[in-house]
Amino acid sequence: MLEIKGISKTFNVGTVNEKQALDRLSLTLNDGDFCTVIGGNGAGKSTMLNAIAGVWPVDEGQIVIDGQDVTKLPEHKRAKFMGRVFQDPMNGTAASMGIEENLALALRRGGRRTLRPGIRNQERKLYRDLLSRLGLGLETRLTSKVGLLSGGQRQALTLLMATLERPKLLLLDEHTAALDPKTARKVLDLTQEFVEEQNLTALMVTHNMKDAIAMGNRLIMMHEGRIIYDVSGETKKNLTVEDLLKKFGEASGEEFANDRMMLAN
């Protein structure tokens, strides 16, 4: 489904802030893989997701989605392949537009935007049904401005938008990191539900190692722009947080000294 072949990206070339964020990274995801991504700060997790989404062009390498080379496609053209949820709940929705308008934008992802009505009556029933599944009471507030919603509500809505038109790839960039633990749990449960139901191929970056182990069928660990550990199936299921910390030490030759990650357990 997704093939990343040796992509590299260096930011701020030629300045003191030069930083190689991705270093000849390769990754192949099979259809239906739900892969969690962990790693310290600056390991390149979000950078990898942004490279796949086409936020900027990569320096070298190739990205293939569903057999199509998308390396040269701009971000908005790649959008037809993928649904995305960002870390910041403010990023995934248009605050000044209504809930139904946001959903209608998402329903048309990948399609041509014409002079037909931006939202049709029959869509509203679909939106109400889907929103009621979130269990947040949003189904009665179709025309409310998204800016009035809480971070958790916005994130759940973004998740719904990302999967409304079945994406070939779902990119989740620490999408629960900015939420309180209870809301984060709720959004993670919804994530699991949506991914399983539509049998989606997904990449989920997380700081929480327990979540990374518990969710999905595959786990990769990143360090300095590369994948240093890739595990799936039974082996992954039986992992413990201690195993991961040890693996990190072995593969990188460093202590996994990241407060945030330790605390997140």
Partner 1 sequence: MLDMFTIAELTKLFNALPGAVAQGLIWGIMAIGVYITYRVLDIADLTVDGSLGTGGAVCIMLMLTGHNIWVSMLGALLAGMLAGMVTGILHTFMGIPAILSGILTQLGLYSVNLKVMGKANQAINVDKFNLLVSLRFIRGVPVYKNTILLVAVIVVLLIALLYWFFGTELGCSLRATGCNDRMARAQGINTGFNRVLGLMLSNSLVAFSGALLSQYQGFADVNMGRGAIVIGLAAVIIGEAIFGRIFHNFALRLLSVAMGSIVYYLVYQIVIWRGIDTDLLKILSAVVVAVFLAIPYWKSKYFTKPAKKGGSQ
Least spacing, CB of residue 99 vs partner 1, in Å: 13
Sole binder of partner 1 in the list 14, 181, 233, 253 (CB under 8 A): 181
Sole binder of partner 1 in the list 73, 97, 245, 251 (CB under 8 A): 97
> What distances in angstroms separate CA 162 from CA 46, 116, 158, one per listed residue?
17, 22, 6
Tell me: does residue 71 bind partner 1 (CB under 8 A): no
Sole binder of partner 1 in the list 106, 205, 209, 261 (CB under 8 A): 106
Tell me: does residue 110 bind partner 1 (CB under 8 A): yes
Sole window of 6-14, 18-26, 74-82, 216-224 interacting with partner 1 (rule: CB under 8 A): 74-82
Question: Looking at beta carbons only, is 108 or 128 nearer to partner 1?
Answer: 108
Length of the chain: 265
Question: Looking at beta carbons only, is 134 or 170 nearer to partner 1?
Answer: 170
Question: Looking at beta carbons only, is 36 or 102 nearer to partner 1?
Answer: 102
Per the DSSP assignment, residues forming a β-bridge with 35 are 203, 218
Number of residues that bind partner 1 (CB under 8 A): 43
Question: Looking at beta carbons only, is 168 or 236 nearer to partner 1?
Answer: 168
Q: Is 158 in contact with 87 (CB distance < 8 Å)?
A: no
Amino acid in the structure at residue 258: N
How remote is the C-alpha of 101 from its chain's centroid? 22
Tell me: does residue 259 bind partner 1 (CB under 8 A): no
Sole binder of partner 1 in the list 84, 175, 186, 218 (CB under 8 A): 84
Question: Looking at beta carbons only, is 67 or 181 nearer to partner 1?
Answer: 181
Strand 19-29 relative to strand 169-173: parallel, antiparallel, unpaired?
unpaired
Amino acid in the structure at residue 157: L
> What distances in angstroms separate CA 257 from CA 80, 163, 254, one per listed residue?
38, 35, 8
Q: Buried b vs exposed e over 92-115: b needs ≥16 C-beta within 10 Å? A: bbeeebbbbbbbbbbbbbeeeeee
Per the DSSP assignment, residues forming a β-bridge with 222 are 39, 227
What residues numbered 113-132 form the site for partner 1, per CB under 8 A? 113-119
Report the alpha-carbon distance of residue 89 to residue 173 in Å, rounded.
11
Chain residues that interact with partner 1, rule: CB under 8 A: 53, 74-77, 79-80, 84, 86, 90-97, 101, 104-106, 108-111, 113-119, 150-151, 161, 177-181, 184, 260, 264
